[in-house]
Amino acid sequence: MKTDLSLLAIGIGSLPHLKTAEALELIRTLKEVPHWPQLPNQASSEGMLNQYIAPLFKLGLVVEKEGKLFFDTSQANWIDKVTEFYNKYLEIIEGNSDNFDFFAFPEESAQGFHAFLKRLTEGDFKEAKFIKGQVTGPITLGLQLTDQDRRSAYYSSELREIVVKSLALQAFWQTETLNQYNKSVIIFIDEPGLYGYGQSTFITLKKEEIINELNEIIDSIHLANGIAGIHVCASTDWSIIFQSKTDIVNFDAYGYFTSMTVYLEELKAFLERGGLLAWGLIPTSQKILELSSADLIILFEQHVAFLAQNGIDRRSLLEQSLITPSCGVGSCPIDVAEKVYALTQEVALSLKAQNIIAEPLTTL
């Protein structure tokens, strides 16, 4: 896996386009690892939260009132609905695929996913070595989705377990679905909610529970023969991510590199077990309009040099590095999104062309 993925360019997920075809054309920029686009500007159902609650909504565990979606545990038949959820869950993990598609993305909430599948079926993206998907993480979804009393679902052990298992089954279904195109599949677990770990407002979040919940989703991706990644777009306690079973750790290397340097021993152990570090080197803001690939390569050189000087094996680090935007570009203007993708691919290709793994990095 080190050699195949080394210094490839990968996108995060969201794009700002209103037309799915235009989003897919931009994704062509990342030739070796295209991904399906999340398109939050098309509809609220395409957002990173609403996109992943369809199974819970179909079962009636999540309801909609006055434009808001939430768990309603006050329903008279709540226990019956929870029982139905676990029956479906057990049937799938025990190998009965009759309910497999129950955890599929509805086309109305994942137009980008279904359009991506259609293109793949038609033989598009022929240069791809991998294909990538994504799922919202359990902490992010659990903290944002509430019960009828506006209490975050994550703080209820019952609701948290439903969220985790639902996401695990959606990740499994997504990996299995993408596997049919005979390319290796990467699924990122997007966890922006983890920025809050350690802050006073999230004091009850427990490290071991978080790791176990992430691992449950990672296990489902691995069970379907996929490669699992975790994306956090700000600072966090990176030891949580490094100690999970994830294959790829994606961090904002442009704005939050110093947050990673606190966890050098954990990073070293992660690399030694074959983990991959996905550098979110390309900022997803107006700053990108003032930057060139040379600027970003200099920044990458500086960061790599710092890690090497502090005990991280340089060759292993470079062999096990990928290049990504710092975050999704769904909230960016289209011209910014286009430059982000162009520079992501350009930086990755330039680093490969310089053969930086074989040769020491030099100042440009």
- Is 92 among the domain residues? yes
- pLDDT greater than 50 at residue 363: no
Q: What is the pLDDT of residue 198?
A: 55
Are the beta carbons of 79 and 67 closer than 8 angstroms?
Answer: no
Q: How confident is the model at residue 213 (pLDDT cuts 50, 70, 90)?
A: very high
Q: What average pLDDT does this structure show over 104-108? A: 90
Dihedral angle of Cα 201, 168, 248, 153, to the nearest 10 degrees = -10
- Is 58 among the domain residues? yes
Kindly state the helix (H) or strand (E) to which residue 130 belongs, with its residue range. strand 130-136
CA-nearest of 213, 166, 175, 173 to 56 is 166
Q: What is the pLDDT of residue 2?
A: 46
- Is 360 among the domain residues? no
Q: How confident is the model at residue 200 (pLDDT cuts 50, 70, 90)?
A: very low
Q: What is the pLDDT of residue 48?
A: 76
- Is 363 among the domain residues? no
Q: What is the pLDDT of residue 197?
A: 64
Q: What span, in angstroms and rounded, lies between the C-alpha atoms of 350 and 9? A: 11
Q: Which two tokens stand for residue 348?
A: 């990755």
- Is 109 among the domain residues? yes
Q: What is the pLDDT of residues 214-240, one digit of tens each?
A: 999 999 999 999 999 999 988 899 999
Q: What is the pLDDT of residue 43?
A: 84
- Is 123 among the domain residues? yes
CATH number of the domain to which 186 belongs:
3.20.20
- Is 320 among the domain residues? yes
Total number of domains constituting the chain: 1
99: containing domain: 2-353
- Is 76 among the domain residues? yes
Are the beta carbons of 132 and 10 closer than 8 angstroms?
Answer: yes
